[in-house]
Amino acid sequence: MGLKQNLHNLKEKYKGTKMAPAFNAIHTFLYLPNETTHGGTHIKAADDLKRTMNTVIMAMVPCLIFGMFNAGFQHNVAVNGNFASGMSFFSGDFWNFGNLLIGAAKILPLVIISYGVGLGVEFIFAIIKGHEVEEGYLVTGMLVPLIVPVDTPLWMLSVAVIFGVVIGKEVFGGTGMNILNPALTIRAFLFFAYPTWMSGDKVWVTGAVETAGTADAISGETVLGSLAQGKEIVYSAWDMFVGFIPGSVGETSTLLILLGGLFLIFSKIGSWRIMLSATLGALAMGLIFNQIADAGIITESSKFYSLMNTPFWHHLLIGGFAFGAVYMATDPVTASQTNKGKWIYGFLIGFISIMIRVFNPAYPEGVMLAILLMNVFAPTIDHYVVQGNVKRRKKRLKAKTA
């Protein structure tokens, strides 16, 4: 009670000053606001933006914890070469405390930098503009460390976060006004500004080994990277589904991503239409490529053949497709708002993702670019859906009055 009273006194002290938005953000993070509705409202609900964001974060926590174990596991596999395909999800070789320590040592700094720098920028803009600190970065701050390589330099991540928050959100007016997903804007900045840190076979596994007196990054090529080069992969469909593969921190376990997606659907935060339509779009494009490969239109000597010939449903298990479809394509700010628009929006994301994945062997992943592209076209899709409804209603009205 004493702490709450002290905070209330501080709130009165900072009331009306430039520092009020920063203090109010900290105060409301600890306690619910005192403001309540008194009349004139049509809908009363317990949820608000902060609770919505926290629910999404809870859906991502299993992916974060799994990513810590997997980072340590991939490190030990790369050093010792003891990977056994088809392991049980409850295998002691994976859920090892040593793996957690290695992973946490690399991933927690990414989380701290992401939130520290991102929220710092948010606080600065709130103080300058004199408005309340917006909660939109709560989810972005968790997404960012989950979609980058585990060995991303912290200074590089800091620069990318500043760029993503300022250019991807604040210049548009803040939370609810941005046209691009901020987390993907940060990922795109890293990809184009520092491409050697975002692709290749030495960026997905933490640690280094001494070879002839020099430290070399441990090789940990992703499944997509191997397929793009026509190499055989040692991972089974089960390994890829569970997540015993190298990759970005939170994108490897399709199983946990699926459970997180179901949680978001159950809580009515994530759109099942976008998730399902994105999946259908990816399967459709993968099936088309399989037919092209089976028909012999593309020969085995082609650099596109390996990914084209990959079983169409495997595309759902590898790379960042599942994570993007569940956690980023469904962003309510940048996605389509109409129900029919969500089907079109999601299907095109899935369709274009696999297309880019196959035809871009230098960086065989397309979900980031596909979502950003469809973020731009989402308002256009909604516009034509609404105009189509207006035209149909006019025709029905005209037919009744005729």
Angstrom distance (rounded) from CA 3 to CA 236: 54
Contact, 367 vs 279, CB < 8 A?
no
| Dihedral sign of CA atoms 70, 74, 76, 77 in order | positive
If pLDDT is split at 50, 70 and 90, which confidence band does 33 have? low
Within a domain: residue 319? yes
Residue 183: band (very low, low, confident or very high) from pLDDT cuts 50, 70, 90:
very high
Residue 216: inside a domain, yes or no? Answer: no
Give the pLDDT confidence score for residue 214 in this predicted structure: 39
Residue 228 phi, psi dihedral angles, 5° rounding: -65, -25
> Which residues, in sequence order, are bridge partners of residue 215?
210
Say if residue 7's pLDDT is above 80. Answer: no
What average pLDDT does range 297-315 have in this prediction?
87
Q: Is 132 left (phi over 0), alpha (psi -120 to 50) or beta?
A: beta
Residue 50 has pLDDT above 90, yes or no: no
Which residue from 134, 207, 217 is spatially nearest to 170, judged by alpha carbons?
134
Domain span at 306: 263-389
Q: What is the mean pLDDT of residues 207-223?
A: 52
In whole numbers, what is the pLDDT of the chain averaged over residues?
Answer: 83
Rg over alpha carbons for the chain, rounded to the nearest Å, is 23
Are 142 and 60 a contacting pair, CB within 8 Å? yes
Identify whether 364 is part of a domain.
yes
Residue 345 belongs to some domain of the structure: yes
* Locus of tokens 């760029």: 163
Q: Is the pLDDT of residue 4 over 60?
A: no
Task: Please report, in angstroms and rounded to a whole number, the separation of the first and last CA atoms in the chain.
Answer: 71
The pair phi, psi for residue 223, each rounded to 5°, is -60, -45
- In a domain, residue 201? The reply is no
* 224 C-beta neighbours (distance < 10 Å), count: 25
**Whether pLDDT at 151 is above 80:** yes
Q: What is the pLDDT of residue 261?
A: 96
Is 324 within a domain?
Answer: yes
Residue 225 confidence (pLDDT): 80
Task: For Cα atoms 223, 227, 230, give the angle at the middle one, nearest 5 degrees.
Answer: 145
In this structure, is residue 219 part of a structural domain? no
C-alpha distances (whole Å) from 302 to each of 227, 291, 306, 318, 362 are 12, 15, 8, 21, 14
Widest pairwise Cα distance in the chain:
89
- List beta partners, residue 209: 216
Residue 5 has pLDDT above 70, yes or no: no
Q: What is the mean pLDDT of residues 332-345?
A: 94
Is 333 part of a structural domain of the chain?
A: yes
Helix (H) or strand (E) holding 214: strand 214-217
User: Into how many domains does the chain fold?
Assistant: 1
Question: Could you give the percent of the chain with pLDDT greater than 90?
Answer: 48
Q: Mean of the pLDDT values across residues 20-27?
A: 54
Q: What is the pTM of this model?
A: 0.86
How many residues does this entry show for the chain?
402
* Amino acid 216: pLDDT: 43
The whole-number pLDDT of residue 202 equals: 59
Is residue 212 predicted with pLDDT exceeding 80? no
